[in-house]
Chain A
C-alpha cells in the first residue's frame, strides 16, 4: 500500500517532494525526535490535509517545508530545487493572530507588494479584497474585524503575493463552528479559482475529508506517515453520502490506530 499511495494522483506534476525527512530537536541537552523518515510527494495544485494527534509534529513539518527550519536528515525540494529559508513563493498562514494589527485591511493585503508600482498594487489589493469578500472594510483595522474576517484577510495577504504553495496551520482552529463551516466553503471556492497547491494542517477529521484531495495521517511522536487516504469525491461534496461516511470512518479508524501505542 505504502509505495502506491506515496505517489501523487496520476497525470499531475510533482510540486513538493520530501525524501527521508527526519527532524530531531535538542531540548535541554536531550535529543527529541519529532519526525521520522517522512516520504511524501505533493502534486501541483493539490489540496493536501495533514492530520495526526496533537503535538505529533504537524506544525514542524509545515515549518520545514516553509523553510523556517532545516531537516536533520533528508531533503525537501520544491520544483526540483532544495528549500533554503522562507520564500514569498510559499506563504504560511497562521491562526488568526497572524494579521498585522497596525495595518488596515488594505495595508495587510498590500504588505508583500512593496516592489510593485502603486497602480499594480492597488489593483492587486482590490482584486483580493473582492475575492475574500471584504469590500467596504478596506480602511478597517483588524481589531474591528471578526475572527472569520481576520482569517480571510490573512489568506488574502498570502494570495496577493502570488505564491505557488499555501501552508495553512490549523487556520480555522480558533473560530466558532458555524464560522468554520463557512470558511471551509470560502477556502474551497478560492482554491478552485486560484488553483494553488495547499497543504492544510488540521486536527478536525471532518474538515480534512470535506476539503482535501488526499489526507495524510501522521502517528504520534516521532511522527511517521501512518496512512494516506485519497478522497475520491468530487466537489461540492455531499457530507451525508455513503462514500463520504465510509471515508470518514476509515480515517477515524486510521487515527484510532495512530492513537494506540
Chain B
C-alpha cells in the first residue's frame, strides 16, 4: 500500500479495526501489568456498561443529555441564524454588534457557570443556557460571514433579473450561504455536546455528565466513568455523521469538497 493509493475493499475496515484493537490491547495490558486498583480494564468497563443498560439508567441519562442539547442548540439556531444573516446583510448592524460579540466569544461557556446559576437557579435551565451560549457564537459567525462572503457576481445576477432586495436575500444570498451555515451548525453541535457534559456536572442530577461525576463521587466507580465517556464519544460521533450526511444533499453539495 503506497501513500497515494486509497485503501479499498476489506482494507477500508481492516486497518481502522486493527488500530482500535491495538488501542484496547494497550489499555488492557497496561491495567494488568501495573496491577492498578483504581483504573478499570476494558472488561470491567464492558461489565459496567451492561449493568447500566440493565438498570435502564443509561437510556434515561442519554435522553436527558440529548434533550438539553436539542433545546440549547435549537434556541441558538433559531436566534443565531436570523441575527447572523442580518449582520451579514447589513454592514451597519455588523459594525454595531461585532465588537461586543467578538469580546464575548472567547469566554468559555464554563466560565458562565456561576452566572448561569445566579440567573436560572438549579435544574435544566442553567444547563440549557450554557449549551445555548456555546452553540450561539459559532452559528452567528458562520451565518454572518457566509452572507458577506457571497460573491458579488451572484447578487448582481439577482439584481439583473429584476429581483427585489428581499428576493435577493431569499433566492440568492441564503442558498449561496447555506454550505457555510451548515458548517457553523456542525461546529456548534460539536461544541454543544462538549459543553453539555460540563453543564451536567453542576446544577442537575441526570444526564451523561452527571453520570460521570456521580460515578466518581459515589464509590469511585471508574468502570462507570469510563463507560459513560465511551457513550459520550459514540453519541458525539453519530451527531457529527448526521450533519455530514446533510452536506451530501444535492443543492448544498457544491459548497463542500467531495470526491467527484
Contact = CB atoms under 8 A, between A and B. Distances in A.
Contacts of A137: none
A66 B160 contact: yes
Given A68-B156, A94-B153, A102-B175, A141 B254 contact: yes
Given A102-B254, A111-B161, A86 B156 contact: yes
B162 A112 contact: yes
Contacts of A85: 159
A88 B161 contact: yes
Q: How large is the interface on A (under 10, 10 to 19, 20 to 34, 35 or more residues)?
A: 20 to 34
Contacts of B255: 101
Contacts of B82: none
Main SS class of interface, A: loop
A135 interface: no
A143 B257 CA distance: 11
Interface in B134-171: 151, 153-154, 156-157, 159-162, 171
Nearest to A107: B251
B252 A92 contact: no
A101 B254 contact: yes
Contact of A141 (B151, B156, B157, B253): B253
A175 interface: no
Contact of A88 (B162, B178, B251): B162
Given A102-B175, A102-B178, A87 B253 contact: no
A55 interface: no
A92 B250 CA distance: 27
A142 B161 contact: no
A102 B251 contact: yes
B160 A88 contact: yes
Interface string B212-255: 00000000000000000000000000000000000000111111
Interface of B: 151, 153-154, 156-157, 159-162, 171-172, 175-176, 178, 250-255, 260
Interface of A: 66, 68, 85-88, 91-92, 94, 97-98, 100-103, 111-112, 141-144, 161
